[in-house]
Structure 1
Amino acid sequence: MRTLLISLAFAAVAPVALAQEMPGHSLVWADEFDRDGAPDPAKWSFDTHANKTGWYNEERQYYSADRGENARVEDGHLIIEARKERLEHAADFGGQDYTSARMVSREGWTYGVIEVRAKLPCGGGTWPAIWMLPTALTDWPLDGEIDIMEHVGNRPGVVLGTVHTGAYNHVAGTQRGGEVTVADACDAFHVYQANWTETGIGFAIDGREFYRFDNDGGGDKATWPFDQPFELILNIAVGGGLGGAVDDAAFPQRMEIDWVRVWRKD
């Protein structure tokens, strides 16, 4: 999940429609997080599959499942919290010093507008992400990845939007993406958005598009694998190739999510 090819000032682009109603679109899936306690199991699962083998990109967290300390709904917000655990408890978390949660939607979609209203963590080493992978992922990066939002706590306020494909990915250093600075990303809620159609994917914040990846129309999966269902992932990673140096004194750190909405064009 590394990124950075195009950089823009946040105020430089004009807003487009978002939020409660979207003309020409129907709401097909949403979570308003209006019930305190555990996240709705009918809508979300927890991804823990790499805990025993180690997470990708040299990340340092253990992803828990159904652990309220790491994922819960409070006062109308989903809280995903990354925590520094006590040393004597490390064996309980795969030998890792940090715990977090990685939540995956139980539904997937092909095309649509995906919106997540969130406030981000800013502690050193935090790496929150709002992103998408194919529901039938078998071969990364050939099957594709859509990173709607990534933020690096060691670069407060810098938000990244990226795609990865067989031809364009961070392993080869060819990923396609952009970045924008949102000065209050860690203090205020913003809407992180992907407008995904047959012709391209637009990345936006509060309705202002800051990067667009166009379908080249060549019919080659290596450059456009985005014609299949993708599921939504919400997580905070710790450290790793993008997260960088970890500041233990900054933990716990949380990403607060007000709502998630998925729209389909009529």
Structure 2
Amino acid sequence: MKNTASIKLLFSLFLFCQFGFAQVDVVYSDLVWSDEFNTNGAVDSNKWFHQTQLPSGGSWFNGELQHYTNLITNSFVNAGMLNIVAKNESYTDQGITKQYTSARLNSKFAFKYGRVDVRAKLPIDAGTWPAIWMLGKNVNEPGGYFSSTFGTTDWPACGEIDIMEHGIFPSQSINYIQSTLHTPSSFGGSVNNGGTIASDLANSYHVYSLNWSPFQLTFLLDGVPYYTYNPAVKNASTWPFDLEQFLLLNVAMGGVAGTVPSSFTQASMQIDYVRVYQNTTVDTQAPLNFTASIGNVTSTSIELLLNATDNSGTVGYNVSYGTASNNYSGTSGVQKSIVISGLNPNTNYSFTVTASDLAGNTASNNPIFLSATTLPNSTLICSGISNLAQQGSFSTGYNYEFQTNNGNEVKITYGLLDTDKVGVVAFLWKQTPFSEVQMTNVSGNVFTHTLTNQTIGSTINYGVKFAFAGGMSVTNYYSYVVGSACSMGVAAFSELNSISFPNPVTDSININSNISIDKVEIYNLLGIKVLEQNLETDKIDVTHLQPGVYLIIMYLGSEKIVKKIIIR
């Protein structure tokens, strides 16, 4: 059914299509492992292992209903196709009787980095859950092929890569497929996923692909990328994908796939081939012409412009500053823009940048040192500390800060003060309509995210979900008025908001207040402080200030309010 010449030609065309999409960062071209399913009968035992041992408790995960068997009626090769067949039949194994059987195959091959292509046709019957996926070789899962020798790590710390799943998305089209990553930072109902609509899954074969590099994971349908996972911070919590993984093929029944109709008899996932590609040629040539410079600088970000050439076509860059260190991929000879965000205004930052290729060869002029100072900001800041939670609880609490920058951007920063949480990641929650986005780790357990294109004077409401090993805690929602004052759910703010003064003013600001303000600061619109005064009187002399628009900040204890004032 297949021949190597046609495979190589089709693969070359496929590579060309992939390279045309920027989401694929490294092109892998050498076939290192495959099964073309050309021999009828039982599955090749040199390549595949039937995983049949039930987990503790006697049932597979997610409420599934099937026994996985090594019966040839559940997995066999015929006419160049692997058939994984889920059947409605009573079957007793390990002392437990179930009403459905299927097969779950582990590859006896494990690898780190490369591309996986699986050409398959899927069952779309109600209650079926076909999957093409991967687990870390180190997963501690009794009954798996590698577990007895390498099983040192519990799920999800081993990492799970779901290349393709179908049948567990009831709100989506029947032709919807999805890819998902499960890591300590997001598992179960992981937020790290992306999907797409295929054409006629029931009757058509499609190629489901994963392109896995040291920098990112990209998922493709028929050569077209539709989802890339590339966390800003890669650590054991977000990126357990730096160790070998193996492949799994299975069809589950029921559970999260929904009720199996009483009329169900059997359904098959048919697989034409499974292929794994890597780059096997020994590379001894280091990157050349490595340059690094500073690009655009704002009050909260610094752009680094990097470039180098390498015979492999891909250059890896490492950028370190403070305690942070992150890796990025770039195309040989093409300038790479890296924006370091979440920085403090009017602060000098030093960066150490190196260039290397995937074989570990390093540029001769490594490292290059860069430094830049962020711009002053508008000082439109509201902040506070709390231990209030809408879900879970906090042992100590958290601090929060909302800051308007560059006219219509709002930088939101939350820091978890609890010291008993490990593997912490943060997700910014928008109250209405609800949405969730992963925040960038600044340092320790401090996280930030910048909202763009906000409307000055509008009120936004956000909270944060801190996820960590063993659970999560979610802060209250806090309100912030973009570009002016804030109302953070703290009583002091209602008192501060009651302060008034004539506006515009000429020689002095006469403050009307029923409370004692601790201090006043005035900033120009460049973010430069032009006046600071401990308030012992209700009058502030501004005769020395030039006419124009200013921002006045009034402090009461740890709280503050920002208002605009015009001086004539």
TM-score, normalised with respect to structure 1: 0.85
The 1:198–1:187 alpha-carbon spacing in structure 2 relative to 1, beyond 3 Å, is same
Determine if the alignment matches structure 1 residue 253 to structure 2 residue 253. Answer: no
In the aligned structure 2, how far is the partner of 1:228 from the partner of 1:95? 37
Correspondences of 1:1-266 after superposition (within 5 Å): 15-16=17-18, 25-50=29-54, 53-65=58-70, 67-85=71-89, 89-91=90-92, 94-137=96-139, 138-152=153-167, 156-170=174-188, 173-216=189-232, 218-241=233-256, 243-266=257-280
SS of the residue aligned with 2:130? Answer: strand
The 1:112–1:24 alpha-carbon spacing in structure 2 relative to 1, beyond 3 Å, is closer
Equivalent pair of 1:117/1:192 in contact (CA under 8 Å): yes
The 1:61–1:222 alpha-carbon spacing in structure 2 relative to 1, beyond 3 Å, is same
In the aligned structure 1, how far is the partner of 2:41 from the partner of 2:101? 19
In the aligned structure 1, how far is the partner of 2:81 from the partner of 2:201? 16
The 1:101–1:181 alpha-carbon spacing in structure 2 relative to 1, beyond 3 Å, is same
Aligned-residue offset at 1:215:
4.2
Cα RMSD for the two superposed structures: 2.1
The C-alpha deviation readout for 1:136-173, integer Å capped at 9, x for no partner, is 11211111100000000765211011100000112xx4
Aligned-residue offset at 1:16:
1.8
Deviation beyond 3 Å, 4+ runs, structure 1? 89-93
Higher relative contact order (CA 8 A, sep 6+): 1
- Which stretch shifts more, 253-262 or 145-154? 145-154
Equivalent pair of 1:84/1:248 in contact (CA under 8 Å): no
In the aligned structure 2, how far is the partner of 1:15 from the partner of 1:246? 39
Equivalent pair of 2:91/2:101 in contact (CA under 8 Å): no
The 1:219–1:58 alpha-carbon spacing in structure 2 relative to 1, beyond 3 Å, is same
Q: Which amino acid letter does the alignment assign opposite residue 64 of structure 1?
A: T
Aligned-residue offset at 1:15:
4.6
Taking only the aligned residue pairs, the percentage that are identical comes to: 39
Aligned-residue offset at 1:186:
1.5
Aligned-residue offset at 1:248:
3.4
SS of the residue aligned with 1:16? Answer: helix
Aligned-residue offset at 1:240:
1.1
Q: Which amino acid letter does the alignment assign opposite residue 209 of structure 1?
A: P
Q: Which runs of 5+ in 2 are unaligned?
A: 1-15, 20-25, 140-152, 281-568
* Structure with more strand by fraction: 2
Aligned-residue offset at 1:68:
1.1
Return the index of the structure with the highest Cα Rg: 2
In the aligned structure 1, how far is the partner of 2:266 from the partner of 2:235? 43
Q: Which amino acid letter does the alignment assign opposite residue 79 of structure 1?
A: N
The 1:145–1:92 alpha-carbon spacing in structure 2 relative to 1, beyond 3 Å, is closer
In the aligned structure 2, how far is the partner of 1:24 from the partner of 1:237? 31
Q: Which amino acid letter does the alignment assign opposite residue 91 of structure 1?
A: T
Aligned-residue offset at 1:233:
0.1
The 1:90–1:193 alpha-carbon spacing in structure 2 relative to 1, beyond 3 Å, is same
Equivalent pair of 1:123/1:251 in contact (CA under 8 Å): no
Aligned-residue offset at 1:265:
2.9
Q: Which amino acid letter does the alignment assign opposite residue 104 of structure 1?
A: N
In the aligned structure 2, how far is the partner of 1:164 from the partner of 1:175? 9
The 1:205–1:73 alpha-carbon spacing in structure 2 relative to 1, beyond 3 Å, is same
The 1:107–1:167 alpha-carbon spacing in structure 2 relative to 1, beyond 3 Å, is same
SS of the residue aligned with 1:192? Answer: strand
Aligned-residue offset at 1:80:
0.2
Q: Which amino acid letter does the alignment assign opposite residue 65 of structure 2?
A: R
2:144 corresponds to: none
In the aligned structure 1, how far is the partner of 2:223 from the partner of 2:259? 32
In the aligned structure 2, how far is the partner of 1:23 from the partner of 1:112? 8
Q: Which amino acid letter does the alignment assign opposite residue 106 of structure 1?
A: K
Aligned-residue offset at 1:180:
1.0
SS of the residue aligned with 2:62? Answer: helix
SS of the residue aligned with 1:117? Answer: strand
Aligned length: 242
1:4 corresponds to: none
Q: Which amino acid letter does the alignment assign opposite residue 217 of structure 2?
A: I
